[in-house]
Amino acid sequence: MIKQLILVLGLCILWNCSAYSQVERSVQLVKAKTINRNLALQFPIDKSFQGSKATFSDAKILIDTLDQSIKLQMTVSAQDDQQHFVATLVFIGDMKYHDFSESYIFDNLKLDRFKVEKDSYTDSQHIAKSIKQSLINDFDELVLFNLAEINSLSFRRPADEIEISKEQLRFIWN
C-alpha cells in the first residue's frame, strides 16, 4: 500500500512539474505595425547643427527575414532659404532590453545607408557630413516598444529567444 502511494505521489509530482514548465513558457508576437506606431510617437525630431536645421521623421522598423536583421529607417530633411535637402537613412544597431523602462530599445546605431532623395543645395556636402557624423548619436536608445504596454501578462525581463519572421518579431520566455 505504501509503495503504491509513493508511486502515485511520484507520478503526481512528475505531472505537476511537466504542467508547470508548459505554463512557464510564454510567447509574445510584436508586429512591425506596433513598433512603427510607437516610433511615430517619438518623431518628428528637429535638430540644429552649425546654423542648419534638420527634421527627422517617418521612422519605421525594417524586419529582414533573409539576413535575420532589424534596421531602422527614417527620413531627414533640411531647408535653408530656398534650398531643400531630403535623404533616407537606414541604421543598423542592437535591440536591447532596458530593465528600468521594461522596454526594448534600439541602441548602438550605425549608419548603414544614406540615400539622397532630393537636393537643391548648391553644395550639400556640409549638411550631409554633419548629419552622418554628429546627429546619429542622438538616436541611441530609441524605444521600440514597452512590454507592459503590449501585454500586461508578459515577463518583465529580456526574452530568452527572439525569432524574426515576416513583419513581426516573436519573443519567447522559457
Inside any domain, residue 1: no
Count of structural domains within the chain = 1
Inside any domain, residue 67: yes
Inside any domain, residue 160: no
pTM score, whole prediction: 0.79
Q: Which pLDDT band holds residue 44 (cuts at 50, 70, 90)?
A: very high
Q: With 60 as the cut, is the pLDDT of residue 22 above it?
A: no
> What are the pLDDT digits (tens) for 99-138?
888 899 988 888 899 999 999 988 888 888 878 776 666 7
Q: What is the CATH classification number for the domain harbouring 112?
A: 3.15.10.40
Inside any domain, residue 159: no
Inside any domain, residue 113: yes
- The residue that leads in pLDDT, 148 or 56, is 56
94 Cβ contact partners less than 8 Å away, ≥ 6 residues apart: 106, 107, 108
Domain housing 103: 33-151
Inside any domain, residue 52: yes
Q: With 80 as the cut, is the pLDDT of residue 17 above it?
A: no
- The residue that leads in pLDDT, 9 or 1, is 1
